[in-house]
Amino acid sequence: MNFEIGMIGVGLMGHGIARNVMRKGSYPLVFLDHPGNQPTDELTDLGATTRGSPAEIARAANVVILCVTGSPQVEAIVEGEGGLLSGLRPGTIVIDCSTALPASTLRMAAAVEAAGGAYLDAPMTRTARHAHEGKLNLLVGSADETLEKVRPVLDTFAENVTHVGPVGHGHRMKLLHNFVSIGSVTLLAEAAALAADADVDPEVLIDVLAKGGGAGAALDRLTPYLKDGDREGLAFSISNGAKDIGYYRQMSEEAGARHVVADGVAAAMERALATGEGEAYIPELVRIFRK
């Protein structure tokens, strides 16, 4: 398959995906011109061109990568006015790297398949730095043959590609992952805020947790903020975190599962949002919890 790549969502994560598709895969790329894009000089210098609508992206590409905020945005891109469905070429594969509700993903996949395409949900873990380096983890929900067709594209921007099941399962796994990840950092942030109020040296707190039950990726990502006020260890906004926890709770409701801990995490994040801190990064919960 000769890949012609379309990219919708050139934000913190999507920019890294786009640059590696071109640099490592040498694939031609068109991307949606959008005010939310990161600076795109590097992409245009590599030969990328822009289009004005998802439909125009679909007409120019046979693989379309979505990297947007959530289900409302994906739905608008796929089936809205000027959306992908109005320009989709037969055989096109849509790769959704967003974090979305599994039920919505199944609807979007059915719509794309009815139009002659195929759908693959491939949400990401890791950070914007990993996206820039082409070392993301992808959690893929798709048919086996669809994954194998586009694996060369995925390999340009991912270090690990895990096939977790059929369409929709990638987003199910991503919500499980983000609940654990965001929930863990939120718990540590509250403990760190209390530690600061109680005059506990942050270096001592980090050392004790790292040698005991608090060790792990969550502490590693929070440590730069605790030591130096550097929030880049987890460059992920509180508003996006709250959205993902909300999606997890909705998935839990639909499954008839318990979500008591998730309710507590959601309440903590809602408090931050209520103080106008939605665009702050999650490590800054330490500061916010001290208010």
pLDDT surpasses 90 at 291: no
Tens of pLDDT, residue by residue over 56-90, are 999 999 999 999 999 999 999 999 999 999 999 99
pLDDT at residue 71, rounded to an integer: 97
Q: Which of 140, 108, 20, 13 is nearest to 68 (CA)?
A: 13
Overall average pLDDT of the 242-257 stretch: 97
Overall average pLDDT of the 145-157 stretch: 98
Q: Is this prediction's pTM over 0.85?
A: yes
pLDDT surpasses 90 at 1: no
Tens of pLDDT, residue by residue over 126-143, are 999 999 999 999 999 999
